[in-house]
Amino acid sequence: MRLKGKIAVITGAGPVHGIGKGIALAYAREGADLSLNYYGHKLDDMEQFKNELESFGGRVILTEGDISQVETAERLITSTVSAFGRIDILVNNAYISTQSLIQDMTVEAWDNMMSVNLRSVFLTTRFAVPHMIEQKFGRIINMASQIGQKGGVEHSHYAASKAGIIGFTKSIAMELGRHGITANCIAPGPIETHVMHTVNQEWRDKKLAELVIPRFGEVDEVSPTAVFLAAEPDGNLFTGQTLGPNLGDVML
């Protein structure tokens, strides 16, 4: 088990079909103890998901709340250190996605996208990094998107938030490498999640036509990248990078 004994924090890790859930399951299978943030899910559903994760032999704690708020982010990190004594891996996965042409977009929609998708990444990183510096080890994995690399019609706010994550990640990688901390992004292509199912069919058809591998990806095809970046020695030499399980949508 490649993550045995590691403590991983994952935001946006609810019980519905999504990348956060997939990463949590993959980390549990690899032996990690988990601290999960969730928001908008029923506690009974989260407890059931917690039991599923603990069936792999690790420990799991839950923190409910809007991760774009200072209080929630600080509570998530503090409760993790209190329960487990350290934080080895931080996966910033929480996000929202809506569609709007720029001329129709409201300031509220823009601000909400930036708050959930980008501000939350800063907050959790800000509170987790001092612990990682103290222990001279850390793995920060931020979920970006191929749309943050190439843009997307009706997704200017989403693209800006995800591009911001990529720039933020490169910068902290430069700052933190001397402390034994790596920081990387994963920028998936279109993945069949509960959020993707809310996107209109016209957009899905156009996106499918752009892909070199002509299908949408599955959650279980993204989570191995998150395991790779977190594991030793697998991810040791990667920092400031953006890995793209994107079906050929972006080629670098």
List, by residue number, the catalytic residues.
158
Q: How far is CA 126 from CA 119, 140, 163, 205, in A?
A: 11, 11, 19, 39
Cβ-Cβ contacts under 8 Å for 38 (sequence gap 6 or more): 12, 13, 14, 15, 46, 62, 63, 64
Q: Which two tokens stand for residue 74?
A: 């600080």
| Distance of alpha carbon 186 from alpha carbon 163, whole angstroms | 12
Question: Which residues does residue 140 pair with via DSSP β-bridges, in sequence order?
Answer: 90, 183
Q: Cα dihedral angle (29, 35, 41, 43), rounded to 10 degrees?
A: 100
Q: 96-105: long-range contacts at Cβ-Cβ below 8 A with a sequence spacing of 24 or more?
A: 96/195, 97/155, 97/158, 97/195, 97/198, 97/199, 98/157, 98/158, 99/154, 99/155, 99/199, 99/200, 99/203, 100/154, 100/157, 101/153, 101/154, 102/156, 105/156, 105/157
